[in-house]
């Protein structure tokens, strides 16, 4: 029960985070919500996880949950990468403004 509550809190955190990211990265957000919801479902109904795990050839339900967690981690890693790209775009805009404001203009040919 303690593990279930702990995992649920973590997954709920992922859900909240995914919701807040929806406007910036909708694809990542939806993927995270889907995987986190599946995670929550299997945490509370492990027998279903075991049945599904057997069905897809993973073996144990707990392994399935670990795999779900791994997928969440990879999605969040991708989201971090996208955030860095957004930061780089902002820096580019700033640099461009600085560059344009300090242009050294050549004398036009007569």
Partner 1 sequence: MASKHPKKPDTRSIWIVVAAFNEAAVLSPIVSDLVCRSYRVVVVDDGSHDATGQIAFSAGATVVTHPVNLGQGAALQTGINFALQQGADYVVTFDADGQHRCSDIARLIDALVDRDAAYALGSRFLGSSRGMPFGRRLLLQAAVWLTRVMTGLHLTDTHNGLRAMTREGASRISLRQNRMAHASELLQQIAASGLRHVEVPVTIDYTGYSLAKGQRFSDSLAILFDLSAQKLHR
List contacts with partner 1 (CB under 8 A). Answer: 23-25, 27-28, 78, 81-82, 85-86, 88-89, 91-92, 95-96, 98-100, 102-106, 108-109
Nearest CB to partner 1, comparing residues 54 and 86: 86
Cα–Cα separations (whole angstroms), residue 92 to 21, 24, 83, 87, 103: 22, 18, 14, 9, 16
Compute the C-alpha angle 50/53/59, nearest 5°.
90
**Least distance to partner 1 from the beta carbon of 89, Å?**
6
- Report DSSP state, residue 59: -
**Least distance to partner 1 from the beta carbon of 21, Å?**
9
């Amino acid at each position: 029960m303690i593990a279930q509550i702990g995992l649920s809190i973590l997954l709920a955190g992922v859900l909240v985070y995914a919701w807040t990211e929806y406007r910036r990265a909708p694809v990542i957000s939806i993927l995270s919500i889907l995987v986190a919801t599946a995670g929550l479902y299997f945490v509370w109904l492990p027998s279903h996880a075991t049945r599904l795990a057997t069905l897809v050839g993973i073996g144990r339900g707990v392994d399935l949950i670990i795999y779900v967690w791994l997928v969440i981690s990879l999605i969040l890693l991708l989201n971090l990468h996208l955030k860095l790209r957004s930061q780089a775009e902002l820096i580019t805009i700033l640099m461009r403004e600085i560059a344009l404001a300090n242009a050294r203009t050549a004398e036009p040919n007569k």
